[in-house]
Chains A and B, each alone.
Chain A
Amino acid sequence: MKVLRKFGIGLIVPIIVVVAYTLWTTSTPNPFFPTPDAIATQFQALWLFDRFLSDVVPSLTNLIVGYALASVFGIAAGLAVGRIKLLRLLVTPLLDFGRSVPAIMLIPPLVLVLGIGDEAKIAIITLGAFFPIVVSTIDGLGQTDPALIDVTRSMQLSRWRELQVAWIPSAAPSIAGGMQTGLQFALVLMVASEMLAAVRGLGYLTMQAQLTFDSASVWAGIVLLAIIGFLANALFVAVRDRVLMWHVAMRAATRSR
């Protein structure tokens, strides 16, 4: 009941926006802002389902592969850098520099080197999502309570076990934050790389529609991207809350006190 109510309240503003947009576009036709009806028709024609399979599924595959690689390498690198002081001193300046480069700027050099195929796309997504994940992993390790390390040391746990039972769980909420940012970056880079250098994909088709002044298709592309982004984030949050159940429950418990 409570969930249903929350969901209902959440729907109010979007419905108002859609109704207002519909009223506005139907009363004063405008070539740049087509009616929802026109967008829906175009959406159906474009994305349900031929183009979806030929253009969106490969893009999403790149997204998943790139994001998975970024997560694995980001967390592994973050753990190594966060736990080994010498490594931290060596690479922190480079990391700070690397994360300051807007990820979109990576597209030109990587396309130059790897071409406009899937390899380049995956590399761009991986590199873009890598930075927030590696940085949040290092930050998270830094927040580990030394009191817990006293406990693991007094138990003579191995370094590896200590990492498993103390450092990684302590850092997990921070890592999850970095992974969520990384997911947003990955999505942006997936589309941006297709807009700049591709022969298929959601970004490419939307860009083509823009070049031919097909505004309904442009909007249809945006709607699809919004849906993908929304679902990706919802899936991420669901998995995160399941994995970090203790953290969610602990915060709820300390709030209610």
Chain B
Amino acid sequence: MKTTKPVRLSISSLSKTYGHGATANEVLKDINFDVHVGEFVCLVGPSGAGKTTLLRCLTSLMPSTKGDVLLDGQKLAGPSPKISIVFQEYTRSLMPWMTAEKNVALALTNQKLPKAEVKRMSMEALASVGLKGSENRYPWQLSGGMQQRVAIARALITEPEVLVMDEPFASIDAQTRLELEDLTLELQRSRHMTVVLVTHDIDEAVYLSDRIVVLSKNPATVQEIVNVDLGAERDQFTTRESHLFGELRSHILGLIRQSQERARAQA
């Protein structure tokens, strides 16, 4: 069913090498995968595999050494208004001199809308992530989970086709993380968004994904793409306790362990 949907994002032979000559460090090697419209794809891999580098190349925040990223068949030549990013470190990705509302409104800068419209949309975006009433507070007056909600609202306000998230819940406490996972799923389903999320948390990847791209290390290559046939409805209790969930988790854990051992053997 998923494969019948058109391809939204296509990553083809993406490679990234830092430096030149003898000191060259190949981080990404020939990465290929497609993400379909409305699909939730997680990227997992051993720590230090270059997941963040892959996201930065994928969003054109960093030039790749080789290969292309295609959005709706068009080659990306720079950051695109159709792609929004939620960064890992919420304390560093919000402007501390702007209120929540202004932070969110910043994403609309290039749309040149009337002020009142920007305000209305910002309030609405904050309400959609459960932050009604916190519009005039500054990021440092908000908890970590609330700050990341602001970042999500900011990413969603432009109604992107693709939402890219770089370990968005890594530095958030476990309970809030579950809430934010469900919020992300809910927003993705209601807006039919395509999501690419990097995480080191395998449970999180299985819980959220339609498919999981497992990366190997040194350099990162696509080790396997795992289908997660847990259905559209996910629940923190029942989904995580299902037999399939456990199987998928063990399978992915095994893959990551393999590649870690291989990397160790190389070194």
Contacts and interface: CB of A to CB of B under 8 A. Distances in A.
Contact of A156 (B79, B95, B97, B140): B79
Nearest to B107: A155
Interface string B134-160: 000010110000000000000000000
Given A148-B92, A155-B110, A156-B81, A253 B97 contact: no
B9 interface: no
B95 A161 contact: no
B149 to A, nearest CB: 16
Contacts of B61: 150, 153-154
A177 interface: no
Interface in A214-257: 246-247, 249-250, 253-254
Nearest to A152: B106
A147 interface: yes
Interface size class of A (residues with CB under 8 A): 20 to 34
B93 interface: yes
Contact of A154 (B85, B92, B96): B85
A87 interface: no
B84 interface: yes
Contact of B106 (A145, A155, A250, A254): A155
B89 interface: yes
Nearest to A249: B138
A150 B93 contact: yes
Given A151-B93, A153-B61, A156-B79, A250 B138 contact: yes
B15 interface: no
B218 interface: no
B141 A169 contact: no
B96 A250 contact: yes
A147 B92 contact: yes
A121 B107 CA distance: 47
A154 B79 contact: yes
Interface string B213-239: 000000000000000000000000000
Contact of A151 (B78, B87, B140, B141): B87
B3 interface: no
Contacts of B79: 153-156
Contacts of B175: none
A166 B78 CA distance: 20
A165 B78 CA distance: 21
Interface size class of B (residues with CB under 8 A): 20 to 34
B10 interface: no
B109 interface: yes
Contact of A246 (B87, B93, B97): B97
A154 B59 contact: yes
A126 to B, nearest CB: 29
A168 to B, nearest CB: 10
Given A154-B79, A250-B96, A147 B110 contact: no
Interface string A155-171: 11100010001100100
A155 B95 CA distance: 14
A169 B97 contact: yes
Interface string B47-65: 0000000000001010000
Contacts of B107: 155
B9 to A, nearest CB: 15
B21 to A, nearest CB: 24
A165 B108 CA distance: 13
Given A150-B87, A249-B138, A253-B141, A157 B93 contact: no
Contacts of B95: 148, 151, 165-166, 169
Contacts of B87: 147, 150-151
A209 to B, nearest CB: 48
14 contacts: A150-B87, A151-B87, A154-B61, A154-B79, A154-B83, A156-B81, A157-B106, A157-B110, A165-B98, A165-B106, A169-B95, A246-B96, A249-B138, A249-B140
Interface of B: 59, 61, 78-81, 83-85, 87, 89, 92-93, 95-98, 106-107, 109-110, 138, 140-141
Interface of A: 145, 147-148, 150-151, 153-157, 161, 165-166, 169, 172, 246-247, 249-250, 253-254
Given A165-B106, A246-B138, A247-B96, 6 more contacts: A147-B87, A151-B95, A155-B109, A155-B110, A156-B79, A246-B96
